[in-house]
Amino acid sequence: MMIVDNILNKQELLSVYAKMLDRKWYLSRGSLAAGKENKYGMGIINENGHTFAGYTIKSQKSGRVLNSEDYIYFESLLPKISDKCYKKYGIKLPTNIFRMDVVAKQRGAQIAYHKDHHNPNAYSLIGLLSPEWKQDWGGEFYYQDDIEGTTNIMHHNPGSFIIIKSNLLHNGVGPKVDTPYWRMIINYVVL
């Protein structure tokens, strides 16, 4: 797991957050538990019945970009994310964006552990788009490392990106208290 900070500042986050709220959302999205993935190693329905809001920018099914304005904006962040990742960790990220989604979770959203892709060379880039977030609000990111399978907990900061191998089990939970913002993230899968 890697984290790169300060990709987006507070003013950028306020603007992006407002734009994303104005989009057409799929309100009953979920994650399929590990072991029940589709051919890409990803799930789309949460087997426990809990759902969250999702907005697709680039479809994993068709490979089509569904909103070019949002795609261009988030694609333009990829060199900055990749550069910071390389400088901090010595890892060069792939540049092919397989899919891109924005996810918003409300209080109590329960998500199954899942993998974003089965390819061991794919990375998931998970950026927190909420303009403000406090650790005591919850919304932790859980992931299992690839060596020991140990579950780790990461607390996200607004404007930062968590980077993990897409074939690792992970789970981003909703807030545990009422918050002034949705826990909103952008998730890229790059190959």
Whole-model pTM?
A: 0.86
pLDDT digits (tens, 9 = 90+) for 57-71: 999 889 999 999 999
> Secondary structure of 124-146 in the HEC alphabet?
EEEEECCCCCCHHHECCEEEECC
Rounded Cα distance between 127 and 107, Å, is 19
Rounded Cα distance between 63 and 65, Å, is 7
pLDDT digits (tens, 9 = 90+) for 20-30: 999 988 765 55
